[in-house]
């Protein structure tokens, strides 16, 4: 199976603007932002989508959410608020088969999201 674009970014085969990196994940600025702050928190371990995560991924999933909070604080949007989104499947808006968390902020976000 070929690498996803996210695996290529993790392997430094494709450049990206990093906001964070640790042993378990990276956080990069989205190239097509939907808000003034739009960062993707991506696990280094490839998990195709949330619906394919297993109990063995529980700590990793929690780490991604806690990392989103750290990045939000680092980027100055923790106080005003932000949105976390995980797309799953075609109807959920998934475009890359490598689960990731969207962190959106720095503007009012409407509900429902669309």
Summarize pLDDT for 36-62 with one digit per residue, the tens: 999 999 999 999 999 999 999 999 999
CATH of the domain at 60: 3.30.428.10
- Please report whether residue 56 resides in a domain: yes
What is residue 112's predicted lDDT score, i.e. its pLDDT? 86
Residue 99 is predicted with a pLDDT of: 96
Regions of the chain short of the pLDDT cut 70: 1, 114
Q: Is residue 112 part of a domain?
A: no
The domain containing residue 24 runs over which residues? 5-100
Say what the pLDDT of residue 113 is.
78
Please report, for residues 20, 99, 100, the alpha-carbon distance to residue 93 in angstroms, rounded to integers and kept in the order given.
Answer: 24, 12, 12
Task: Please count the structural domains in the chain.
Answer: 1
Q: Which of 38, 98, 100, 102 is flagged as catalytic?
A: 100
- Model pLDDT, residue 68: 98
Q: Could you tell me if residue 29 is inside a domain?
A: yes
In a domain, 16, yes or no: yes
Establish whether 29 is a catalytic residue.
no
Residue 111 lies in a domain: no
Q: Using CA atoms, how far apart are residues 107 and 4, in angstroms rounded to an integer? A: 30
Taking the C-alpha atoms of residue 90 and residue 85, their distance in angstroms, rounded to an integer, is 15
Cis link prior to 112 (omega < 30° from 0)? yes
Q: What is the pLDDT of residue 1?
A: 63
Within a domain: 110 = no
């Amino acid at each position: 199976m070929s690498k996803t674009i996210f695996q290529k970014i993790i392997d430094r085969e494709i450049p990206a603007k990093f906001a964070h990196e640790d042993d378990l994940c990276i956080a990069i600025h989205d190239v097509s932002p939907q808000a003034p702050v739009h960062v993707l928190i991506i696990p280094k371990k490839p998990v195709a989508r949330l619906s394919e995560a297993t109990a063995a991924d529980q700590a990793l999933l929690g780490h991604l959410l806690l990392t989103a909070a750290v990045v939000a604080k680092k980027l100055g949007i923790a106080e005003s608020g932000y949105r976390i989104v995980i797309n799953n499947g075609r109807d959920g808006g998934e475009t890359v088969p490598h689960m990731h968390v969207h962190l959106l902020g720095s503007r009012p976000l409407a509900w429902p999201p669309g």
